[in-house]
Amino acid sequence: MNVLVGIVGFRGYSGAEAVKLLSHHPNCAPVLLEHRSDGGDEARLLRKSTVKRLGASAEVIRDNNIGAVLLCTPPEVSMELVPQYLSAGAKVVDLSGAFRLGTVERYARWYKEAHTQPELLGSAPYGLPEFYRENLRGKSFISNPGCYPTAANLAIRPLVEADILDPAAGVICDAKSGTSGAGRKASLKTSYCEVTENFSAYSVLQHRHVPEVLMNSGLDEAAFSFTAQLLPLDRGILETIYFKTVAPMTAAEILAVYQAKYANEPFVRLYEAGNVPDLHAVQRTNFCDIGVISDPATRRCVVVSAIDNLGKGAAGQAIQNLNLMLGIEETAGLF
Amino acid sequence: MNVLVGIVGFRGYSGAEAVKLLSHHPNCAPVLLEHRSDGGDEARLLRKSTVKRLGASAEVIRDNNIGAVLLCTPPEVSMELVPQYLSAGAKVVDLSGAFRLGTVERYARWYKEAHTQPELLGSAPYGLPEFYRENLRGKSFISNPGCYPTAANLAIRPLVEADILDPAAGVICDAKSGTSGAGRKASLKTSYCEVTENFSAYSVLQHRHVPEVLMNSGLDEAAFSFTAQLLPLDRGILETIYFKTVAPMTAAEILAVYQAKYANEPFVRLYEAGNVPDLHAVQRTNFCDIGVISDPATRRCVVVSAIDNLGKGAAGQAIQNLNLMLGIEETAGLF
Amino acid sequence: MNVLVGIVGFRGYSGAEAVKLLSHHPNCAPVLLEHRSDGGDEARLLRKSTVKRLGASAEVIRDNNIGAVLLCTPPEVSMELVPQYLSAGAKVVDLSGAFRLGTVERYARWYKEAHTQPELLGSAPYGLPEFYRENLRGKSFISNPGCYPTAANLAIRPLVEADILDPAAGVICDAKSGTSGAGRKASLKTSYCEVTENFSAYSVLQHRHVPEVLMNSGLDEAAFSFTAQLLPLDRGILETIYFKTVAPMTAAEILAVYQAKYANEPFVRLYEAGNVPDLHAVQRTNFCDIGVISDPATRRCVVVSAIDNLGKGAAGQAIQNLNLMLGIEETAGLF
Amino acid sequence: MNVLVGIVGFRGYSGAEAVKLLSHHPNCAPVLLEHRSDGGDEARLLRKSTVKRLGASAEVIRDNNIGAVLLCTPPEVSMELVPQYLSAGAKVVDLSGAFRLGTVERYARWYKEAHTQPELLGSAPYGLPEFYRENLRGKSFISNPGCYPTAANLAIRPLVEADILDPAAGVICDAKSGTSGAGRKASLKTSYCEVTENFSAYSVLQHRHVPEVLMNSGLDEAAFSFTAQLLPLDRGILETIYFKTVAPMTAAEILAVYQAKYANEPFVRLYEAGNVPDLHAVQRTNFCDIGVISDPATRRCVVVSAIDNLGKGAAGQAIQNLNLMLGIEETAGLF
pLDDT tens-place string over residues C117-149: 999 998 999 999 999 999 999 999 999 999 999
Whether residue D44 and residue A272 make contact (CB cut-off 8 A), yes or no, is yes
Touching check for B198 and chain C: CB below 8 Å? no
Task: Identify the pLDDT of residue B50.
Answer: 81
Q: What residues of chain B, 289 to 328, have a C-beta less than 8 Å from chain A? A: 293, 295, 297-298, 300, 302, 304
Whether residue C229 and residue D222 make contact (CB cut-off 8 A), yes or no, is no
Other beta carbons within 10 angstroms of residue D260's beta carbon come to: 11
Whether residue C45 and residue B255 make contact (CB cut-off 8 A), yes or no, is no
Touching check for A47 and chain C: CB below 8 Å? no
Q: Of residues C147, C173, C288, C301, which has the active-site annotation? A: C147
Task: Identify the pLDDT of residue B46.
Answer: 81
By Cβ distance, the residue of A231, A300, A304 closest to B225 is: A300
Domains along chain D with CATH numbers: 3-144+313-326 (3.40.50.720), 147-309 (3.30.360.10)
Touching check for A192 and chain C: CB below 8 Å? yes
In this prediction, the residues of chain B whose per-residue pLDDT falls under 50 are none
- The torsion of the CA quartet D53, D55, D61, D67, rounded to 10 degrees, works out to 30
Touching check for B160 and chain A: CB below 8 Å? no
> In chain B, which residues have their Cβ closer than 8 Å to the Cβ of D179?
192-193, 196
- Please indicate whether residue D39 or residue A204 has the higher confidence score (pLDDT): A204
Q: Search chain D and give the residue with CA nearest A259.
A: D46
Q: What share of chain A in percent tops pLDDT 70?
A: 98
Cα B87 from Cα D332, distance rounded (Å): 72
Task: Identify the pLDDT of residue D206.
Answer: 86
Residue A34 dihedral angles phi and psi, to the nearest 5°: -85, 105
Banded pLDDT at C82 (limits 50, 70, 90): very high
Across the B/D interface, how many CB contacts are shorter than 8 Å?
A: 62
Residue A102 dihedral angles phi and psi, to the nearest 5°: 80, -30
Residue D121 distance to chain A (closest CA, Å): 38
Task: Identify the pLDDT of residue C155.
Answer: 98
pTM of the model: 0.96
> In chain B, which residues have their Cβ closer than 8 Å to the Cβ of A188?
none
Which of C19, C20, C44, C192 to probe the B interface (max B CBs under 10 A)? C44
Rounded to the nearest 5 percent, the helix, strand and coil shares of chain C are 35, 25, 40
Other beta carbons within 10 angstroms of residue C277's beta carbon come to: 25
Q: Kindly state the helix (H) or strand (E) to which residue D228 belongs, with its residue range.
A: strand D224-230
Task: Identify the pLDDT of residue A206.
Answer: 86
Give chain C's end-to-end CA distance (angstroms, integer). 19
Annotated catalytic residues of B are: 147
Task: Identify the pLDDT of residue B41.
Answer: 63
Banded pLDDT at D41 (limits 50, 70, 90): low
Cα A181 from Cα A191, distance rounded (Å): 13
Cα B283 from Cα B261, distance rounded (Å): 23
> In chain C, which residues have their Cβ closer than 8 Å to the Cβ of B44?
271-272, 275
Which of D171, D194, D234, D278 to probe the C interface (max C CBs under 10 A)? D278
Which residues in D271-305 are b (16+ Cβ under 10 Å) and which e? bebbbbbbbbbbbbbbbbbbbbbbbeebbbbbbbb
Touching check for C269 and chain B: CB below 8 Å? yes
> In chain B, which residues have their Cβ closer than 8 Å to the Cβ of C277?
43
Residue among B147, B176, B184 at smallest CA distance from B40: B184
Which of C193, C196, C310 to probe the A interface (max A CBs under 10 A)? C193
Cα-based distances in Å from C99 to C95, C121, C310:
9, 6, 19
Task: Identify the pLDDT of residue A61.
Answer: 97
Quick one: how far is CA D106 from the chain centroid? 19
Task: Identify the pLDDT of residue D42.
Answer: 67
By Cβ distance, the residue of D180, D186, D188 closest to B41 is: D188
Touching check for B198 and chain D: CB below 8 Å? no
Whether residue A304 and residue B199 make contact (CB cut-off 8 A), yes or no, is no
Residue D228 dihedral angles phi and psi, to the nearest 5°: -95, 135
pLDDT > 70? residue C38: no
Q: Search chain A and give the residue with CA nearest B304.
A: A201
Whether residue D234 and residue C172 make contact (CB cut-off 8 A), yes or no, is no
Beta strand spans in chain B (E): 3-8, 28-34, 53-55, 66-71, 91-94, 141-143, 171-177, 200-202, 224-230, 237-244, 268-270, 288-295, 300-307
Residue A184 distance to chain B (closest CA, Å): 18
In this prediction, the residues of chain A whose per-residue pLDDT falls under 50 are none
Cα B168 from Cα B246, distance rounded (Å): 9
Which residues in A208-241 are b (16+ Cβ under 10 Å) and which e? bbbbbbbbbbbbeeebbbbbbbbbbbbbbbbbbb
Q: Kindly state the helix (H) or strand (E) to which residue A87 belongs, with its residue range.
A: helix A75-87
Mean pLDDT of D198-219: 94
Amino acid present at A289 = D
Task: Identify the pLDDT of residue A232.
Answer: 98
Give chain B's end-to-end CA distance (angstroms, integer). 19
> In chain A, which residues have their Cβ closer than 8 Å to the Cβ of B238?
199-201
pLDDT > 70? residue C39: no
Touching check for C42 and chain B: CB below 8 Å? no
Cα A279 from Cα B200, distance rounded (Å): 7
Counting Cα atoms < 13 Å in the Cβ hemisphere of C272 gives 5
> In chain A, which residues have their Cβ closer than 8 Å to the Cβ of D45?
269-272, 289
Task: Identify the pLDDT of residue D246.
Answer: 97
Task: Identify the pLDDT of residue B42.
Answer: 67
Banded pLDDT at C15 (limits 50, 70, 90): very high
> In chain B, which residues have their Cβ closer than 8 Å to the Cβ of A246?
none
Residue C118 distance to chain D (closest CA, Å): 30
ipTM (interface predicted TM)? 0.95
> In chain A, which residues have their Cβ closer than 8 Å to the Cβ of C190?
186, 191-193
- Let me know the angle formed at the C-alpha of D189 by D186 and D192, rounded to the nearest 5 degrees: 75
Task: Identify the pLDDT of residue D28.
Answer: 97
Average pLDDT of every residue of chain C: 95
Mean pLDDT of D185-205: 94
Whether residue A188 and residue C186 make contact (CB cut-off 8 A), yes or no, is yes
pLDDT > 60? residue D49: yes
Average pLDDT of every residue of chain D: 95
